[in-house]
């Protein structure tokens, strides 16, 4: 069962304050309001602050430039500049030659095209691997191998794991992938009341929708939609993913099972065709609360990735002489 928020491009979400809980600035944020406050439009809770009232970065509508606290809201890619509003725009004072760009377009002008055996990788023609039907240890026709090998579950016996639920492939390229974060409690460890789960991706992937898993739906939980941003997630410059799951009053345990789904898609202007999605959980202290729940994760291989290919890539080729 996939209950989703409205489809939107990833955006920054400005933290609010309610009920005295933590607010999280970071990466892609999905704030699941699970009854911690009355009403469905309560603002996000804030981190406890010190007596010195530290500077709070302001990047709610900015993707680049100064964050108001001496830091940065992000950097622009090659051929772009940061405008006064904090938005990356094309730098049309430069040409394709200035950028060393041999394909694609710049400011509406074509820089060239690639032949049928290559694709445009950031302005440079790159070889397209041929891995359909091959083992992941075989050559890919581009001087490499057809790795990494496909993996649908990040860790079979970990308390927290990432799983591949579905993939959509068109003309040999990934159109979208559905991932889920699952929790299976450790024996003797208390159930978590809060989860701060982070994911990392191998390339320019965007979130299309986010949904609650059946256990949280049946428990009466719901996605928190930030009233300012109008979305349940945001993407920040480090490219990682962050999901915050909370319980009623911070005391009702989060149930076991599939907590949350993500439907993600490659940025077709940047992502290579015929290559896999590689995603992983980011291990860190403080993933779960209370601390006793978090300690159950320490030492587990949480950062083992899932690997989703758009073509039929097989596991490692059998060793000659093996059964």
Query: In terms of pLDDT, which residue wins out, 187 or 6?
Result: 187
Give the pLDDT of residue 270: 55
ω into 172 cis (within 30 of 0): no
How far apart CA 249 and CA 244 sit, in angstroms, is 15
Give the pLDDT of residue 169: 87
Judged by phi (left if over 0) then psi (alpha if -120 to 50, else beta), residue 45 lies in beta
144-163 residue pLDDT tens? 888 899 999 999 989 999 99
Tokens matching residue 32 = 């699941």
Give the pLDDT of residue 151: 94
71-85 residue pLDDT tens? 899 888 777 899 999
Query: In terms of pLDDT, which residue wins out, 241 or 200?
Result: 200
Query: In terms of pLDDT, which residue wins out, 238 or 182?
Result: 182
Pair 211, 311 in one domain = yes
Query: Which residues fall within 8 angstroms of residue 223, CB to CB, at 6 or more apart?
Result: 3, 5, 30, 32, 33, 210, 211, 212, 232
Give the pLDDT of residue 198: 86
What is the DSSP secondary structure assignment for residue 315, as one 8-state letter? S
Pair 102, 193 in one domain = no
**Residue 58, domain member (yes or no):** no
CA atoms within 13 A on the CB side of 254: 33
177-189 residue pLDDT tens? 999 999 998 777 8
241-276 residue pLDDT tens? 777 787 666 567 889 999 999 999 887 655 566 678
Sign of CA dihedral 133, 138, 139, 144: positive
* Structural domains of the chain, count: 2
Pair 137, 122 in one domain = no
**Residue 123, domain member (yes or no):** yes
Give the pLDDT of residue 19: 41
295: domain CATH number is 2.60.40.680
Q: Final residue of a domain: which of 92, 127, 162? A: 127
103-131 residue pLDDT tens? 888 888 889 888 877 888 778 888 888 88
């Amino acid at each position: 069962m996939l209950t989703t928020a409205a489809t939107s491009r990833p955006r920054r979400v400005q933290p609010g304050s309610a009920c005295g809980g933590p607010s999280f600035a970071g990466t892609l944020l999905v704030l699941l309001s699970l009854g911690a406050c009355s009403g469905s439009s309560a603002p996000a809770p804030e981190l406890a602050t010190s007596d010195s009232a530290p500077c709070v970065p302001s990047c709610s509508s900015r993707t680049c430039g100064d964050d108001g606290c001496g830091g940065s809201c992000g950097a622009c890619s090659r051929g772009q500049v940061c405008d006064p509003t904090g938005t990356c725009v094309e730098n049309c004072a430069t040409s394709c030659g200035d950028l060393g760009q041999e394909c694609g377009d710049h400011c509406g002008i074509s820089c060239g095209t690639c032949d049928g055996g290559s694709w445009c990788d950031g302005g440079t023609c790159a070889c397209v691997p041929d891995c359909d039907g091959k083992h992941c240890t075989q050559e890919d026709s581009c001087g490499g191998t057809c790795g990494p090998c496909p993996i649908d579950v990040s860790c079979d016996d970990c308390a927290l794991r990432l799983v591949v639920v579905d993939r959509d492939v068109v003309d040999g390229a990934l159109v979208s992938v559905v991932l889920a974060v699952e929790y299976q409690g450790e024996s003797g460890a208390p159930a978590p009341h809060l989860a701060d789960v982070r994911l990392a991706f191998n390339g320019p992937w965007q979130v299309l929708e986010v949904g609650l898993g059946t256990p949280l739906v049946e428990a009466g939980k719901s996605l928190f939609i930030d009233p300012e941003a109008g979305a349940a997630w945001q993407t920040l410059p480090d490219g990682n993913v962050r999901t915050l799951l909370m319980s009623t009053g911070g005391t009702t345990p989060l149930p076991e099972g599939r907590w949350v789904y993500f439907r993600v898609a490659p940025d077709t202007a940047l992502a290579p065709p015929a290559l896999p999605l590689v995603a992983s959980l980011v291990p860190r202290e403080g993933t779960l609360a209370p601390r006793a729940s978090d300690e159950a994760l320490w030492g587990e291989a949480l950062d083992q990735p899932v690997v989703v290919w758009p073509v039929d890539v097989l596991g490692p080729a059998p060793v000659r002489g093996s059964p």
